[in-house]
Structure formats: structure tokens, C-alpha cells
Amino acid sequence: MRLATSADRRQVAQMIEARCAWMEQRGLPSWRGAVDELVAQCDNPCGDVWVLESDEHGVVGQMVVQDQGPPWGWTAEELAEPALYLSGSITHPALRERRPGTVMALWAVDRAARLEVPWVRRHCHAPEVARYNLSQGFTLVREEQRTHTRLYMMARWAERLELTEMLWEGRSAQSG
């Protein structure tokens, strides 16, 4: 994992286009209308957009990691606790069997522990994604109905993880 740069734009665009096609083939809503906005995140000067890079395949994942969560979905007490908030996780569908989304999430759990931040939080809109997040050790904190969507608010206690077993073609998930 490393911070995204403007130089990643082409590879991130290809990855997102591949994910959109994969979703559309399965009748799922995709990010087709937001590709340019998602790619533009590579230029974010705040240093909160990270990419998972493979020696063989280049950029295979992108995730936003922030130290402030959205004002909705979390209680005032939860928002007052230090946490890393994960959002916008996108991975290349051709590498699904390697679970790049899990690599990115566990890297964030380990990073939070190294930064002495006690929590990693995230939310999603789809029950299938919620189940996937649960498989990464996240706990469902609550479900919340928004105007047009249901949110699954999830959290995991930060902990140091031995990620060397999750080597990504010669690069440790601990990088960055």
C-alpha cells in the first residue's frame, strides 16, 4: 500500500472501468457515471487516498483512509473516539481470488494500531458488501435507513497484524 499520486490515474481508471464492467455484467449498479471523480481522487492533496500495487499487475486497489468519519451513521460518542475511516474501496475484479479488498482492510487495521488509533470504521450500502466486511473481522455496529439507501455501519478494533504472509508479489501489505 502506498499513497496515490497523479501518475496512478491511468491505472486507476482501467481498474475502475474493469470493476464497472464486472458489476454491470451481474446486474449490479456500478460507478460508471462517477469514474472521472473516482480517478481524480489520485490528485487528492490531503494524503488520504491509498493504492494497492502489485509488481505484476500494477494498481489493483484504491481506498480512502481518513481520520474523520461522516457525520451521519455514528453517534457523537463514536465520532469523538479516534478512528480511521475506510471508504471508497475499489479493487480489480480479475484478482478477486487474491482478496485485494481484504489485504487493504487488514493493512488499515494494522496501520491504525501502529498509529495508536483504537478503531477502524467503515460503512457500505449493500448487504453483500457488509457480509464481505464481516469476513474481514469487522462487526456490524448498526444498520441505518437513509432516504434512499440502507447503511451498514461497521467497526473493528485496531490491532497489530502479521501481514508478511499476505505478501503481494514481493511487496508487503505493511508498506506505506
- Contact residues for 103 (Cβ-Cβ < 8 A; gap 6+): 52, 61, 166, 168, 173
| Chain segment 37-96, per-residue pLDDT in tens | 999 999 988 889 999 998 888 999 999 999 998 888 899 999 999 999 999 899 999 988
User: How open is the CA angle 58-126-154, to the nearest 5 degrees?
Assistant: 85
Chain length of the chain: 176
Nearest in space to 3 (alpha carbons), one of 44, 54, 60: 44
Residue 32 covered by a domain:
no
Mean pLDDT of 15-23: 94
Q: Give the range of the structural domain holding residue 142, as residue numbers without chain letter.
A: 48-166
**pLDDT, greater one: 64 or 97:** 64
Model confidence at 156, in pLDDT bands (50, 70, 90)?
very high
Let me know if residue 36 belongs to a domain.
Answer: no
Task: Note whether residue 37 is domain-resident.
Answer: no
Calculate the CA 17 to chain-centre distance. Answer: 17
- Determine the Cα–Cα distance for residues 62 and 41; give it in Å rounded to an integer: 9
The 10 Å Cβ neighbour count of residue 52 is 28
Task: Give pLDDT tens digits for 98-134.
Answer: 889 999 999 999 999 999 999 999 999 889 889 999 9
Position 102 in a domain: yes
- Cβ pair 42, 6 in contact under 8 A: yes
Residue 9 included in any domain: no
Is residue 72 in a domain? yes
User: How many structural domains does the chain have?
Assistant: 1
With beta carbons less than 8 A apart as the criterion, state whether 17 and 35 touch. yes
Instruction: Please report, for the domain that includes residue 156, its CATH number.
Output: 3.40.630.30
Query: 138 in a domain, yes or no?
Result: yes
> What was the pLDDT predicted at 164?
65
CA distance 13 to 126: 23
Model confidence, pTM? 0.88
Cell of 126: 449493500
C-alpha 116/C-alpha 111 separation (Å) is 8
- 84 in any annotated domain: yes
- Alpha-carbon distance of 168 to 166, in angstroms, equals 6
